[in-house]
Homo-oligomer: A and B are copies of this chain.
Amino acid sequence: MSTPERLIESTRELLWERGYVGTSPKAVLERAGAGQGSMYHHFKGKPDLALAAIRRTAEEMRTTAEGVLGGPGTPYERIEAYLLRERDVLRGCPVGRLTMDPEVVADDALRAPVDETLGWLRARLAGIVEEGKERGEFAPSVNGEEIAAAVVATVQGGYVLARASGSPAAFDAGVRGLLALLAPRDR
């Protein structure tokens, strides 16, 4: 792997583990096995490197989600598959995590990929819910965008509960609760 690649990958790992504020160039360099000069040759500085890392992580998250949401099954089944998909729960979401970083939220360039990814996910889920309404799987009274927001929020908040308790159980409980409420009745 090339040096810029290693720098980006190391940054992605550290951003996930420690966030933007908690990630120092020094730590990135050590993990990547590179020297100071390399980093400042390929990137303008910490924000520039972080931006490259965040963009890649955001794209990866979209790809993973689409793999499940675009799969087979009824709308409910695809949402269920998304919620039940295997996750490293205690590590949390590498994208959502960044919203707790004041320097990411304050910087439009850094926040943009985060916003776009979660926005895309919400819109994608909203469309699936609307599809489910047309098929009679969901009640006509439900609002696709609201359900989509609740689904994404349950996942993001599930990570919070899991990390607080040190166990994935709370994440699973929240997902099961939401799925129970969402399940098509009378079948």
Contacts and interface: CB of A to CB of B under 8 A. Distances in A.
A111 B164 contact: yes
Interface string A66-78: 0000000000000
Contact of A161 (B22, B149, B166, B177): B149
Contact of A156 (B17, B22, B157, B182): B157
Interface string A145-171: 111111111111111110111100011
Interface size of A as a range: 35 or more
What is the copy number of this chain in the assembly? Answer: 2
A146 B176 contact: yes
Contact of A177 (B148, B160, B165): B148
- State the main secondary structure of chain A at its contact with B: helix
Interface stretch (A29-37, A38-46, A113-121): A113-121
A114 B121 CA distance: 29
Interface of A: 17-19, 21-22, 92, 96-97, 99-103, 105, 111, 114-115, 118-119, 122, 141-143, 145-161, 163-166, 170-171, 173-178, 180-182
Given A118-B160, A153-B158, A153-B160, 18 more contacts: A19-B101, A22-B22, A96-B160, A99-B163, A111-B166, A115-B166, A118-B161, A142-B177, A143-B180, A146-B176, A147-B177, A148-B177, A149-B158, A149-B177, A153-B170, A154-B178, A156-B156, A156-B161
**A-B complex: 10 closest residue pairs judged by Cβ atoms:** A153-B157, A157-B157, A146-B177, A156-B157, A150-B177, A149-B174, A149-B173, A153-B174, A181-B181, A99-B163
